Amino acid sequence: MEATRKVDILIVGAGPAGLAAAIAAREDGIESILVLEREHNPGGILRQCIHNGFGLHRFKEELTGPEYAQRDIDRARELGIEIQTDTTVLSVSHDRMVSCINRNGYQVIEAGAVILAMGCRERPRGALGTPGTRCAGIYSAGTAQKFVNLEGYMPGKRVVILGSGDIGLIMARRMTLQGAKVLACVELMPYSSGLNRNIVQCLNDYNIPLYLSHTVINIEGRERLSGVTVAKVDEKRMPIPGTEIHFDCDTLLLSVGLIPENELSQGAGVKLSPLTSGAEVSDLLETSVPGIFACGNVLHVHDLVDHVSNESFKAGHAAAAYVRGETAAYEMLPVKDGEGVRGTVPQRIRKGAQDAIDLMFRPSGVFRNATCVVRCGDREVLRRKAPIYTPGEMAVMTIKPEVAATLDAPLTVSIERSDS
């Protein structure tokens, strides 16, 4: 491909991750920055998240999703960062040639560094294999959220929600407030996959029952959904005969997991993690392809947008250093998942790094009064006890700079159960 223009840093996605990365890079002195966004407006998924609860860590105040996004949009405008909306990125090559198309036609952009910030998408019904008809009335929770909050349409009046992800829990409350009857939230696992505060505020406060270790085993209806059958599952997640519950409903919302949007990453030759479905990165958020960085939900699915922003600031600073040729060659130390830990990010860190390092992971189950331990070889470098570790909440272990500087062997992150 022949470049039609050149930029120092190109960012794919103008959601909270892409905006934060762009702001950090510009504040680091990089003038030539281009952000490409396929939607008509920047802001990403936050635009449809009109509930509050955002920004408590970063801004020390409670904001709605649009309010949080607008702060970064305003800051990007103040800094003169170029954002091309209505632009679809077609490919990213290993040598950082980016092809895209918009109203002005096809263009190829050569970038000194690329930051992947495409976010994630919802797992569709086709990935579930649920028996039944293919009738109307079945939506992903995010699609329903967009209909209600942005377009002013109500998907239905009698609702069952499959999966207890945060979007599903929030939509249980939203649909109730809009006059619908939410009959149940059904979760395959023996624990919720959403934040505990959302279970309390979105289900318990509205007397919406949560059926753990249950799933939908049949979908009924011809042109429109008329009902679903739910059953309890055993340890192998197989339905248990005789436990069926039938719900007459016209709407089924799916909140069954998020998948990082990594088609562009794969096209660039980026190595992906089978555990997070995102890129494998260093503590500088650099992927296996030099000069290509990843941050936010395209890397691993976060709970809090505040953490997305903090991670993306680091990616922006690292990309800026790469463009200036300030990134030194380091020996890399692998980071391994120990007992009770799944999908630690980053997967490798610089030996003798001088910066604080956040190790983020999902617990593999529910652990009460347990201790998370980080070891460097046989040496313990960090320990933290918590009342509960649960897969629904991202755990973060921060290694301080003075400790990071002493790391000289592979790291292992594990959860130790309490004897009490």
Say if CB 250 and CB 157 are below 8 A apart.
Answer: yes
Residue 406 corresponds to which amino acid? T
CA distances from 287 to 37, 278, 367 (A): 21, 10, 31
Write out pLDDT tens, residues 101-113.
999 899 999 999 9
Count CA atoms within 13 Å of residue 95 on its CB side.
6
Band (pLDDT 50/70/90 cuts) for residue 195 is confident
Residue 11 pairs in a beta bridge with 35, 115
Percent of the chain as helix, strand, coil, to the nearest 5:
25, 35, 40
- Residues sharing a CB contact under 8 Å with residue 207, sequence separation 6 or more, in sequence order: none
Band (pLDDT 50/70/90 cuts) for residue 1 is low
Band (pLDDT 50/70/90 cuts) for residue 420 is very low
Pairwise CA distance, residues 237 & 232, whole Å: 9
Q: What does the mean pLDDT of the chain come to?
A: 94
Residue 247 pairs in a beta bridge with 228
Structure confidence at residue 5 (pLDDT): 93
Burial of 104 (0-12, 13-18, 19+ CB in 10 A): exposed
Checking if the pLDDT of 127 tops 70, the result is no
Say if CB 408 and CB 351 are below 8 A apart.
Answer: yes
Pick the CATH number of 124-256 from 3.50.50.60, 3.60.15.10, 3.20.20.140, 3.90.330.10: 3.50.50.60
Write out pLDDT tens, residues 244-261.
999 999 999 999 989 999
How many other C-beta atoms can be found within 10 angstroms of the C-beta atom of residue 82? 12
Percentage of the residues of the chain whose pLDDT score is greater than 90? 89
- Residues 10-18, mean pLDDT to the nearest whole number: 98
Checking if the pLDDT of 196 tops 90, the result is no
Enumerate the CATH 3.50.50.60 domain ranges in the chain, comma separated: 1-122+257-327, 124-256
Band (pLDDT 50/70/90 cuts) for residue 77 is very high
Band (pLDDT 50/70/90 cuts) for residue 419 is low
Band (pLDDT 50/70/90 cuts) for residue 135 is very high
CA distances from 135 to 101, 132, 222, 226 (A): 35, 9, 6, 9
DSSP line for 41-78: SSSGGGGG--SEEESTTTTSS-EEHHHHHHHHHHHHHH
- φ/ψ (deg, to 5) at 305: -65, -25
CA distances from 344 to 103, 192, 193 (A): 40, 20, 17
Burial of 303 (0-12, 13-18, 19+ CB in 10 A): middle
Query: pTM for the full model?
Result: 0.93
DSSP line for 323-392: HTT------EEEEEE-TTEEEEE-SEEETT--S-EEEEEEESS-EEEEEEEEEETTEEEEEEEEEEE-TT
Which CATH code fits 331-420?
A: 2.60.40
Write out pLDDT tens, residues 156-189.
999 999 999 899 999 999 999 999 999 999 999 9
Checking if the pLDDT of 292 tops 70, the result is yes
Write out pLDDT tens, residues 300-324.
999 899 999 999 999 999 999 999 9
Percentage of the residues of the chain whose pLDDT score is greater than 70? 99
Structure confidence at residue 134 (pLDDT): 85
- Residues 45-50, mean pLDDT to the nearest whole number: 95
Strands (E), 222-356: 227-232, 245-248, 251-254, 258-260, 292-294, 332-337, 341-345, 348-350
Say if CB 417 and CB 363 are below 8 A apart.
Answer: no
DSSP-derived pairing of the beta strands 88-92 and 214-220: unpaired
Helix (H, G, I), strand (E, B) or coil at 203: helix
Say if CB 22 and CB 33 are below 8 A apart.
Answer: yes
Structure confidence at residue 340 (pLDDT): 96
Write out pLDDT tens, residues 198-216.
999 999 999 999 999 999 9
Enumerate the CATH 2.60.40 domain ranges in the chain, comma separated: 331-420
CA distances from 39 to 47, 148, 243, 278 (A): 11, 18, 44, 22
Fold of the 1-122+257-327 domain: FAD/NAD(P)-binding domain (3.50.50)
